[in-house]
Chains A and B, each alone.
Chain A
Amino acid sequence: GQQLNQSPQSMFIQEGEDVSMNCTSSSIFNTWLWYKQDPGEGPVLLIALYKAGELTSNGRLTAQFGITRKDSFLNISASIPSDVGIYFCAGSAYSSASKIIFGSGTRLSIRP
């Protein structure tokens, strides 16, 4: 079946650093989504991507739909303490939420 590989699994950052994470798929996707989960909460949608090559921003967050349609990237610029949490990529080859596959998540922590 389809698989999503998300990396890195975890990262420790200094406040003010830029952050990058990515997901790769074993097959082509038509939709890529990025979610963030704060501690003790459910995931919240950050960015949705629908076209190969698409680059979309949401404040300090920028995500890209890879041109091969098998990968996606999320960048966070000038990180702040509230960026801490787990970031999930998700993708689908269909337009239905029931077909979405999630990556295993990237846990972002602030280095003391």
Chain B
Amino acid sequence: DVKVTQSSRYLVKRTGEKVFLECVQDMDHENMFWYRQDPGLGLRLIYFSYDVKMKEKGDIPEGYSVSREKKERFSLILESASTNQTSMYLCASSYREKLFFGSGTQLSVL
């Protein structure tokens, strides 16, 4: 089975802090994704990566950056966290059009 592991289930940060969300997948997938999930809005794509050191902006990249130094690891970075970034963050890897998700990180920015 595909396993996508997110390093934290819950995080509480203060406004202005730099925040790192880490994700690791064990299926040698080329593509990895970061989504944000908010009630009533479904899943919205922040960034994705199709190869090491390669990245593409998704639908809502503002306020976020990403890093992919190794194939299995994809990091989401909030350079200066703001309260409107309080959300559930989901990492995924994919085989063709099928996405495999981690358990999510619930981030609260106070």
Contact = CB atoms under 8 A, between A and B. Distances in A.
Question: Does A associate with B in a complex?
Answer: yes
Interface of A: 4, 6, 9, 31, 33, 35, 40-45, 48, 88, 90, 92, 94-98, 100, 102-105
Given A42-B104, A97-B33, A92 B90 contact: no
Q: Most chain-A CB neighbours within 10 Å: which of B4, B9, B94?
A: B94
B102 A42 contact: yes
Q: Interface residue tally of chain B, by bracket?
A: 20 to 34
B31 A98 contact: yes
Contact of B99 (A4, A100, A103, A105): A100
A6 B45 CA distance: 18
Q: Is the interface of B mostly helix, strand, loop or mixed?
A: strand
Contacts, number: 66
Interface of B: 4, 9, 31, 33, 40-45, 48, 50, 56, 58, 90, 92, 94, 96-104
B97 A48 contact: yes
Given A97-B48, A104-B41, 15 more contacts: A41-B104, A42-B90, A43-B43, A43-B90, A44-B101, A45-B98, A45-B100, A88-B43, A90-B99, A96-B96, A96-B97, A97-B96, A98-B31, A98-B48, A104-B40
A38 to B, nearest CB: 10
Contact of A102 (B31, B42, B96): B42
A102 B43 contact: yes
A9 B40 CA distance: 8
A98 B98 contact: no
A90 B43 CA distance: 10
